[in-house]
Structure 1
């Protein structure tokens, strides 16, 4: 039992309760399409396991994971709607930012305050023994690549909110707070998992493309944002340099977080230990045509000694299964990019990040799309337009 499953159970009860209060529940074609992809992908994986005579149903039950994320997202959005009267992209981003910032603070406290570490370790079981063995920071249920993927997604959402939401961009105080959270997640998140770098790079590229900075011209409406951005980054860099020279723990963690940068400055070569290990040991591909097509039906227990998502998916369910899984995320990105032009570029970057993440680890980002399927709208304006039907429970 974990919080995701608990939230999913709450979401099921909420949906049942809402269904008793209204005459009908609206389920859009968008989510029906997503359900179709999840079910068909699960069937392909089931066929692979059956064809290869294995009992490894790691992704044959993907439709269950899909349902858990959807119902969990429904519970979260229901709670936010009860407090704020609506649930939109801005509110979701602010809540997720607070959670990620809190995880970063918790990771620092666990690392530096033994009493707090004992409290967390005595309450949450998250493989702490391994994390301590490899000397990695961890939050409360947030560690390794899974945490890095979530930090990356939230960084990109913060960037999109700062660029696209006028109520945020027009308030210097809000810009400062969001940027401080952004850079805290970037720094401490990388100390927890260097996968966070993916989100940092994607976010900076998003800002460059979305604001037109690529043309080396700063439009007037973004002037306050960039001025504040330069100020905050100067403060963050200054504090980081000070701690780098005065705090042994920060020195150790920051060198791990940005190992590639330090190696580039000191040796002229951008390398990291994990990247070298991936290139040296983990690019493992099928050795026969049958496995290339339908896979071997084996995924669990690190059976092929590789973390790389592309390798693990293809070895499990072949190019047939992996291609359908990839199409599932292309579908999700397309649905929401088409729904709202303001955030279309963000969903394009989500899609790129999906394929980049699979170079490192076999995980996906459907958890964020699950939330978007349950929103009233991607912005406040959309939510207000839908207010006439707001009281009907929706899986949008």
Structure 2
């Protein structure tokens, strides 16, 4: 029972980091991400004082430098354009909040488990995303549960109801879809790279059930999730060699269970589509492109049509192309497209620095961890593809990797004179 409560506590901890929420007990200006960042600063200071030694990896210094460079370019854009729109001029603060929040999460997980590695963080993130999908269905189906969540959690749910979208506890719209996508790729990576998982069919079954649940319900919440599903399948095909139409013996059980769950999942979905009105409507939204292709012979969605018809908005003068207009907030240009919004805000100069920041993070982790190199390449693909749809970023996941044992060659804090469970691997 104690172990179960421990796992539940850590899952909630990871959830309020990965899907931050505002709470009625907190001031309106604070959310759980900010609180975790404060805890992370306190833990970092404590650990540094105890060890009497504080070190930062050169790789992290590079990331800090690029985040500051991007922020300074955005600040310059607001200055020369005489605006007060600091949406990304303060990106270095967002960078720090995510990093310190990740440090707090990893330090607490390390306290309970003695270490925090790729396997552990993937399992917790999978549990979180699965829980968010279940929560979204409960909120949609059980009014009393929705009232309970809406009473204590502040997440802009009024807008979600206005546009008739499923939402979890901090998870909604494209932001949730992007983060679901990252976890789908990590989950497949774990299944492929960890033989201790693959040799237990029960574990493989549970993880694949989570994979398909996140894909299905996640897509009902945000169709962006399909990007993660497709990228994860690509990773699976390349890393296992099945694209050569050959199944290696060590992956046979994985593929057998994958196909069985897929077939059963499709059969159950077809049944619910025909018998459950709410499921029918959610499926129509989640796979609108597929239904239009089957029924009309054309793969299209209303949102994609709107993007293509209205939202490709570019600068109209050379100055804006170079340094931007210094305007981003309040949907000022009436476009969601990330490429357009970033370039209109800080020009090609700022966008180049921002893009380089994510290329840099993917590159350094891929270089240091060859077995995960393809996964980080997938992260990079997700980064650049998602900007066709929405202006968001994925540093939330890189911040965790900077704090894991066995990922960075030089941890955030190398040595800490605290009880052994809190000491990161060196």
Q: Provide TM-score, normalisation by structure 1.
A: 0.96
The CA RMSD measured in Å over matched residues stands at 2.0
1:94 partnered with 2:123: yes
Question: Which residue of structure 1 lines up, in the alignment, with residue 216 of structure 2?
Answer: 187
**Aligned counterparts, 1:207-286, within 5 A:** 207-286=236-315
**1:41 counterpart (70, 73, 77):** 70
Question: Which residue of structure 1 lines up, in the alignment, with residue 41 of structure 2?
Answer: 12
- CA distance in 1 between partners of 2:186 and 2:238 (Å): 15
Question: Which residue of structure 1 lines up, in the alignment, with residue 135 of structure 2?
Answer: 106
- CA distance in 2 between partners of 1:132 and 1:208 (Å): 38
Aligned residue-pair number: 393
**1:351 counterpart (373, 380, 392):** 380
1:309 partnered with 2:335: no
**1:323 counterpart (352, 360, 381):** 352
- CA distance in 2 between partners of 1:388 and 1:316 (Å): 42
Question: Which residue of structure 2 lines up, in the alignment, with residue 196 of structure 1?
Answer: 225
Quick check: 2:133–2:218 contact (8 Å CA) kept in 1? yes
- CA distance in 2 between partners of 1:316 and 1:304 (Å): 10
Quick check: 2:53–2:415 contact (8 Å CA) kept in 1? no
C-alpha distance 331-55 of structure 1, shift in aligned 2 (>3 A): same
Q: What is the Cα deviation at residue 25 of structure 1?
A: 2.1
Q: Deviations over 1:7-56 (max 9, x none)?
A: 11110111111112112123111100000000111000000000111111
**Aligned counterparts, 1:69-218, within 5 A:** 69-218=98-247
Q: What is the Cα deviation at residue 395 of structure 1?
A: 11
Quick check: 2:50–2:416 contact (8 Å CA) kept in 1? no
C-alpha distance 391-85 of structure 1, shift in aligned 2 (>3 A): closer
Would you identify which runs of 4 or more consecutive aligned residues in structure 1 move more than 3 Å? 386-396
> Gaps (5+ residues) in structure 2?
1-29
- CA distance in 1 between partners of 2:422 and 2:133 (Å): 37
- CA distance in 2 between partners of 1:336 and 1:170 (Å): 27
Q: What is the Cα deviation at residue 116 of structure 1?
A: 0.2
Question: Which residue of structure 1 lines up, in the alignment, with residue 363 of structure 2?
Answer: 334
Quick check: 1:159–1:207 contact (8 Å CA) kept in 2? yes
> Gaps (5+ residues) in structure 1?
none
SS of the residue corresponding to residue 369 of structure 1 reads helix
Q: Deviations over 1:294-343 (max 9, x none)?
A: 00000001000000000000000000000010000000000100111111
- CA distance in 2 between partners of 1:84 and 1:339 (Å): 24
- The 10-residue stretch of structure 1 (309-318 or 132-141) with the greater mean CA deviation from structure 2: 132-141
C-alpha distance 395-167 of structure 1, shift in aligned 2 (>3 A): closer
- CA distance in 1 between partners of 2:114 and 2:264 (Å): 37
Quick check: 1:191–1:256 contact (8 Å CA) kept in 2? yes
Quick check: 1:282–1:306 contact (8 Å CA) kept in 2? yes
- CA distance in 1 between partners of 2:224 and 2:236 (Å): 19
Question: Which residue of structure 1 lines up, in the alignment, with residue 391 of structure 2?
Answer: 362
- CA distance in 2 between partners of 1:58 and 1:126 (Å): 19
- CA distance in 1 between partners of 2:407 and 2:259 (Å): 28
- CA distance in 2 between partners of 1:320 and 1:135 (Å): 38
- CA distance in 1 between partners of 2:49 and 2:189 (Å): 37
Quick check: 2:416–2:423 contact (8 Å CA) kept in 1? no
- CA distance in 2 between partners of 1:391 and 1:348 (Å): 32
Quick check: 1:27–1:395 contact (8 Å CA) kept in 2? no
1:22 partnered with 2:51: yes
C-alpha distance 388-129 of structure 1, shift in aligned 2 (>3 A): closer
Question: Which residue of structure 2 lines up, in the alignment, with residue 3 of structure 1?
Answer: 32
- CA distance in 2 between partners of 1:59 and 1:49 (Å): 10
- CA distance in 1 between partners of 2:218 and 2:199 (Å): 28
- CA distance in 2 between partners of 1:203 and 1:387 (Å): 36
- CA distance in 2 between partners of 1:391 and 1:142 (Å): 31
